[in-house]
Amino acid sequence: MSYVDVGKENSTSIHLYYEDHGSGQPVVLIHGYPLSSASWEKQVPVLLDAGYRVIAYDRRGFGKSSQPTTGYNYDTFAEDLHHLITHLKLKDFVLVGFSMGGGEVARYIGKHGTKHVSKAVIMGGVPPYLLKTADNPEGVDGAVFEGIEKAVSADRYAFFTKFFMDFYNTDVHLGTRVSEQAIQASWNTAAIASAHASLACVPTWHEDFRKDVAKIDVPTLVIHGDSDRIVPFSAAGQRTAQLIKGAELVVIKDGPHNVAWTHAEEVNAALVKFLGKKAAQTDRTKEQAVA
């Protein structure tokens, strides 16, 4: 198994678990809460078959990565991603983020720019800003996030059971687009995550990414289900696509939050088509080629 060292908590090293498969242009997959890199199982083989090098990692606190009690904020998440990219010496890579992973895509570009980033994909992502405020009336009321924090703190296992009902819209898709076993597998992944991380990540969902999104100047694909009950389309995907110049928007009809599983064929087709498009030659790309 492969790990990259991203820091320390007291005497203990913090490692991120990652998998690195195939060859070709690198595509970095960033998972959502409370899952792990294994949640990309319907995308990895399709991307490999299309000729891409596929890299997927577990966010700190989740999957097979270390479970520190520090660093659960987007500046640190972006630096963790930067450590991985630097460790693998990636260039001309694509960032693909689902849910919380959309935040890493935005914050990474906000902090490090797009010199070596070829394209970006945000799927059911938390950008640009989920919290309802005076200057962000389209957001979600803060009481919603407070209620989630209380539920996770009281009994995270019970919370996950309810959470995955809305994650997959089981009242609509159970037995057709998602099985009870797949939901159980998601629950099992959530259950082995760090209890600290499971709680500490919740307030990061309403991080303000508006300045970060404004810095995204590479071809970008936004994918979002129009029936997303976790990250509402109107508050997130729709606005992200509007804020990024030239962004492509794919709305998955009747899609829940995790369309990568329930609507994998549609998502994969959109993803492969977008990745295969030649980016328009611009002064910026010309400058990068010379640099």
Known active-site residue 224: no
| In contact, 107 and 77? CB cutoff 8 Å | yes
Q: Which of 58, 80, 212, 228 is catalytic?
A: 228
Return the number of other C-beta atoms located less than 10 Å from residue 17's C-beta.
20
196: annotated active-site residue: no
**What sections of the chain are H helices per DSSP?**
44-49, 74-87, 100-112, 142-168, 170-173, 180-191, 195-200, 210-213, 237-243, 259-262, 264-276, 283-290
Residue 65: active-site member: no
Q: Nearest to residue 119, comparing CAs of 197, 52, 173?
A: 52
The residues that bridge with 97 in the sheet, in sequence order, are 30, 122
Find the catalytic residue in 37, 66, 99, 118: 99
Structure tokens at 288: 């990068």
Run of H or E including 2: strand 2-9
> Distance (Å, rounded) from C-alpha 29 to C-alpha 211?
23
SS3 content of the chain, % helix, strand, coil (to 5): 45, 20, 35
**Catalytic positions, please?**
99, 228, 257
